[in-house]
Amino acid sequence: MQRFLKYAVFFLGVFTVTIPSPSSAKAATYIPLDDSVYSLILRLEAEGIIKSGLITTLPLSRREVVRVLREAEKAGNKNSFLEEVIDLLRRLLRDDIVETKFIKPVDNLYTRYFYADSGIQGLYYNNDGDKFRKGSNVRLGFSSKAELGRLSFYVNPEFRYSEADDSGDKDEYAFLKTGYGVLNFAGLDLQVGKDSQWWGPGYHGALMLSNNPDPLTVIKLSNSQPALLPWIFKYLGPFRFTLIETRLEKDKNTPEPYIWGMRLNFKPIPYLEAGIQRTAVFAGKGRLNDVSAILKSFGGSNEDELKGRSGVQRAGFDLKLTVPSWLQPFQLYLEAGEDGTKVLQSKWSYITGLYLPRILLLDRLGFRAEYSENYFVSSFISNNRAIGHHMGVDSSDMFFELNYHVPELNGRINVSYDIEKYSLSVDKLSGTANPTKIEASVGLTFNLTNALNIEGKYTFGKFKNPIYVNDSAGNINLFALSVEYYF
């Protein structure tokens, strides 16, 4: 199965890249992964209002989000609540709906405050690699963007401060959190710079790529808007591809390796989205670093056979089924993958989930449950963070979330519970209890005005049996407050 996925991605990917999408003369920036726009689009998709969107490869370009908004506006069978959701999307995308050239030196300005009563790091994940010290932590930042026809640019510098911990050290520095340019040609986007990626239908985690680490510095080629392929491939339905390459800082065995990844996703029918993907480590210090290494890796073979050093390759697939019933709409999704090493793999890593956009006829109340197990042999690491699912290898994760939506205020209340278990195979061999993290949180976000957004969150974490997780036993309370202003 793993070999089949390798070659399926390879051949279909080569075929796709050689056939441009319908030409467009406008490049657009991409919506950050933590933006509330995504939860609104997912709600409309789960209700059957959006049918052509391919929303399992993120981030989405602003042009694509405007396109699915137009689709939602034209759809029938919308109640007053869904009309509120669509109206909220119009307000959030007001700059993007008007397709004009512009430079916006300050798009938004934000400040975030975090207080933790422990130095345990286990609650910090899916946050672009941010880490907090015990005590007070402050983040200040803003974003700028420019849409100039075939070129667009986005930058997000940030200042970070964390008070001194028990050792007397404190953090205080400014850096470029995200920054990239996009060139549009022949209907394709070429993106170069720092930006986070999320591949797959998972909500709490993703197997291949997520925003758990710092935003990766990537070269990315994609058709940002779905297209129909010619010949028999037209039966795949709306189709998108994404091809990226990045370089990691260091690796346990090979310093500074490169990673490339390709993801293809499509909708053969309006309520079924499918994806296949591959990632591979190649080159790096002490290994082949020429064009042949890239070609061999891309073709699925061992690119460094002469030195006996094979790169880790992963392949996987995912499915998301939408059932837009008038009584109880729901989505079911599955992502599965395995390593391409020579180590015997008897188990696949996977994520499976259920999403209820509403509970029966309670429009404002939604629910999600997601379960994951990660049996990858090794972890792709960037700055000590897993690039894929934050739980790491040889682990499981069960996540529940109940949410209450107030679209007229861009508001929502989230209550979640999460339990992660680590060192699963060690537990089976030794009979000892798993290292375990239990996490519970409640969050509130809403707009005071159309431009001012307030968000607060409290999280409690309990860590048990820490013998395998670097002595991170104990409890932690984390308080977070964010204020963001949009110009």
Question: Which residue shows structure tokens 């401060």?
Answer: 161
| Extended strands (E) in 48-150 | 57-58, 102-116, 135-148
Residue 60 backbone dihedrals phi, psi, to 5 degrees: -95, 145
**Domain containing residue 265: CATH number:** 2.40.160.130
Stretches where the chain sits below pLDDT 50 are 18, 20, 23, 304-306, 308, 342-344, 468-470
Cα separation of 139 and 262, whole Å? Answer: 33
Counting every residue, how long is the chain? 487
Residue 407 DSSP symbol? G
Residue 249 CA to residue 286 CA, distance in Å, equals: 15
Angle subtended by helix axes 80-92 and 37-46, to nearest 10: 150
Give the C-alpha separation, 285 to 37, whole Å. 41
Residues 6+ apart with CB under 8 A from 315: 2, 5, 6, 9, 276, 277, 278, 337, 338, 340
Rounded alpha-carbon distances, angstroms, from residue 455 to 43, 203, 400: 20, 19, 20
Residues 19 and 22: their CA atoms lie apart, in Å, by 9
pLDDT number for residue 290: 61
Cα separation, 19 vs 79, whole angstroms: 40
pLDDT of residue 127: 95
Q: Which among 458, 479, 481, 470 has a CA at the least distance from the CA of 135?
A: 479
Q: Looking at residue 379, what is its pLDDT?
A: 67
pLDDT digits (tens, 9 = 90+) for 73-106: 999 889 999 999 999 999 999 989 987 889 999 9
Partners of 329 in the β-ladder: none
Domain ranges, residue 12:
2-486
Rounded to an integer, what distance in angstroms lies between the CA atom of residue 81 and that of residue 83? Answer: 5
Q: What is the DSSP letter of 463?
A: E
- pLDDT in the model for residue 344: 40
Q: How many domains does the chain have?
A: 1
Amino acid at 144: S
CA angle 97, 25, 86 (to 5 degrees): 20
What pLDDT does 294 receive? 63
